[in-house]
Amino acid sequence: MIYTLTLNPSIDYVVEFPSLCVGGITRIQKEDFVFGGKGVNVSHMLKILGTSSVALGFVAGFTGKAFVQGVKGYGIQPMFIEVDDGFTRINVKIHAEEESEINGLGPVVSKLYLDKMMKLLDEIKENDILVLSGSIAKGMKDNIYADIMKHVEDKRIKVVVDACGNALHHTLKYHPFLIKPNKEELEEYFHVNLSSINEMLVCAKMLQKEGARNILVSLAENGALLLCENGEVLRCNAVKGKVVNSVGAGDSMVAGFLHVYEQKKDMKKALQMGVACGSATAFSKGIASKKSVEEILERMDANL
């Protein structure tokens, strides 16, 4: 089973209109509610591909209740802990002459609820996969992902970490099965400017020396680079297309990779599916449909 953990999920209120009237009234032409957060996005893409997962995390308030119902509507099995301080955040995504975002804070998660989450994680069995991704909720230290990995260390599960900065750094000593940095996150982590794929590969090798087993580097329109724990380096180019929305593309890449890896244990095919899912979501308004992923895969095969 695959478990995804989203510490600070969100309801995205997406609105579209031609222009924002500052100081006046703006009438919305189109609106939508999207239930997400990085781990939930992974679960959503997995469900679309036909792989089951359990979505873990924290919710609060009336928005938390709406969030859980929304996740159920995606066909995802939710296992969220309700906390009593604050409410699940609402992020406003404005699509006008320019794109703007107003992101909420989210609830405060105390040690009491963190302990409850640890007890839920005790249900994970050997050979399961746990995906830790996204921002950390208020009240948590930046080593929370490392604490979780330490807690499940004896279970012999595969842990995927999609985080940045100190939150990622603290996990490396526990040897995550897969991490997924992008160019900007590599630059932030190593305090450098990267101008080539070879330079990113050097950074990936340094992360491997720090403890990560496999490093999947998202290269946006250039596909992805995978440094395997056996030292093999794999590349997969992306197909061309119009980027509509980059939110969830990296999460879709993780989902596509895990979907194939779980079935075939084939790194090359897993990488290809990851790039296909990431591209398909980037070319869609939300998490991509299975049909969109299949169309991208066909175009990728034609380019081989």
Q: Is the pLDDT of residue 68 over 60?
A: yes
User: Please, are residues 245 and 252 in contact by the beta-carbon 8 Å criterion?
Assistant: no
Residues 46-70, buried b or exposed e (16+ Cβ, 10 A)?
Answer: bbbbebebbbbbbbbbebbebbbeb
The Cα 271–Cα 214 span in angstroms is: 11
- Residue 64 is predicted with a pLDDT of 96
- Residue 231 is predicted with a pLDDT of 94
- Residue 211 is predicted with a pLDDT of 97
- Residue 205 is predicted with a pLDDT of 97
Catalytic residue among 85, 122, 251, 301: 251
Question: Mean of the per-residue pLDDT values for the chain?
Answer: 92
The Cα 286–Cα 249 span in angstroms is: 9
Tens-place pLDDT, residues 114-158: 999 999 999 999 999 999 998 888 778 999 999 999 999 999 999
Strands 10-16 vs 89-95: parallel, antiparallel or unpaired: parallel
Domains of the chain by start residue, with CATH: 2-10+38-83+110-302 (3.40.1190.20)
Active site residue 266: no
> Which range, of 56-70, 88-102, 154-168, averages the lowest pLDDT?
88-102
Tens-place pLDDT, residues 5-35: 999 999 999 888 888 888 888 888 888 899 9
SS3 call for 89: strand
